[in-house]
Amino acid sequence: MSPVVRPDVHTLFHIDLTWFEKNGRDLREEMHGILCEQDRARYVTPADAGIVDRIHPVTAEVARVDALWEAIADHCGLQSGFIAPTTPLTTAVFRALLANGNQPMSPEQLHKRIGKSNPTAILKLLLGGEIENGIVLFEKKG
Ligand SMILES: [Zn+2]
């Protein structure tokens, strides 16, 4: 048995993509819905967004990714108002992870990114009874 780790504000969370399928929700549809106007004009429907080369902003590595992820991580997610003070906390956390290309983030990192609430409250929210937007503990494989 693996040791039980008590999650804290440094514990990593990510979006479980299979959760959307299991719950009859279409993640690409939802991602398309939060594109900025410019990208929504470029990708009129989710099907219009194919696979593109994305150059990692830090490592300069090139990866083939879904254009919706690329747009949100490199453009829409950087626009002011993507996460606004009035954005509900659950939505803000979800958007922060999308804008991070679904790289796992801790409540502390999420707090810094969304600029509201506090790490402890975000942790509580993520561990709360119901899974919101498929956000679950990130378990390292292997
Ligand atoms: Zn955009």
For residue 77, report the distance from its CA to the centre of ligand 1, in Å.
7
Q: Does any domain span residue 5? A: no
Let me know: does 94 contact 132? Beta carbons within 8 Å: yes
When divided into structural domains, the chain yields a total of: 1
Let me know: does 19 contact 136? Beta carbons within 8 Å: yes
For residue 6, report the distance from its CA to the centre of ligand 1, in Å.
37
**Which pLDDT tens digit goes with each residue over 5-49?**
789 999 999 999 999 999 999 999 999 999 999 999 999 999 999
Q: Does any domain span residue 132? A: yes
pTM over 0.85: yes
Q: Does any domain span residue 2? A: no
Q: Does any domain span residue 48? A: yes
Q: Does any domain span residue 6? A: no
For residue 41, report the distance from its CA to the centre of ligand 1, in Å.
10
Q: Does any domain span residue 126? A: yes
Q: Does any domain span residue 120? A: yes
Give the closest residue to 96 by CA, choosing from 120, 118, 112. Answer: 112
Q: 50 is in which domain, residue-wise?
A: 13-137
